[in-house]
Amino acid sequence: MAIPAFGLGTFRLKDDVVITSVKTALELGYRAIDTAQIYDNEAAVGQAIAESGVPRSELFITTKIWIENLSKEALIPSLKESLNKLQTDYVDLTLIHWPSPNDVVSVEDFMQALLAAKNSGLTREIGISNFTIPLMEKAIAAVGAENIATNQIELSPYLQNRRVVEWAKQHGIHITSYMTLAYGKALKDEVIAKIAAKHNATPAQVILAWAMGEGYAVIPSSTKRENLASNLQTQALTLDEADRTAIAALECNDRLVSPEGLAPDWD
């Protein structure tokens, strides 16, 4: 099963805000939705999906297992609770949200528990998030690269994560980009603005088109209908080689997400 190239992120959106965002997105034509246990919005996302009237078979729903639920005893029960909140019998993709801090639960243990969840039909595909090259090596050793659908990582024009991307590509692991707009910082970039003017596009469309052109899936979020609609139109935009070269030069290792006590030793 291919990971959809374009979807809706729900990080930091809760209650009525996330319900409105998801329902509006589905109305506009979005069909992939990304959530997580720690976002505390799975029930609201489930409500929005149920009220949207969109058939479950048309949707691609992703959730992520939080670090407190990584043990063999907790992972599957926690995923079943997520399914209950999301009002679905299965999700399309389940990710390990962060590797276990200080290796409290080994990569082998939680990846094998996640594979058991897949084998029992609770999730169609499994994957990882915020994994470095050494952690990806351990995940592959545990369940095989063929069972790792994606590695969802922070990736923007300012943090292009080339080593991780290239290694993952060589081992057949797809990349999903989060924080693609760099918390909005990249929207104000002069290089991006020039490319946007050239294509009669928005800066957000340029950045998202760049990421998709590199082969990554993107999951931008928004609470505004016009932004949700505009982001969706990104799929029709193709950048040329000059555009891609200019954006490649923006790399400055500007990592925005690195929670103390949670983040691994980055590559």
Catalytic positions are 39
Residue 122 one-letter amino acid = L
Angle at 19 between CA 13 and CA 25, to 5 degrees: 95
Look at residues 85, 94, 91 and name the one whose alpha carbon lies nearest to residue 115.
94
Burial grade of 173 (CB within 10 A; 0-12, 13-18, 19 or more):
buried
- Cα distance between residue 135 and residue 167, in whole Å: 12
Sheet holding 174-178: strands in order across?
A: 8-9, 32-34, 60-65, 91-96, 123-129, 150-154, 174-178, 217-218
User: What is the token pair recorded at 16?
Assistant: 């009525």
Residue 84 half-sphere exposure toward CB, CA atoms < 13 A: 6
- Cα distance between residue 88 and residue 129, in whole Å: 23
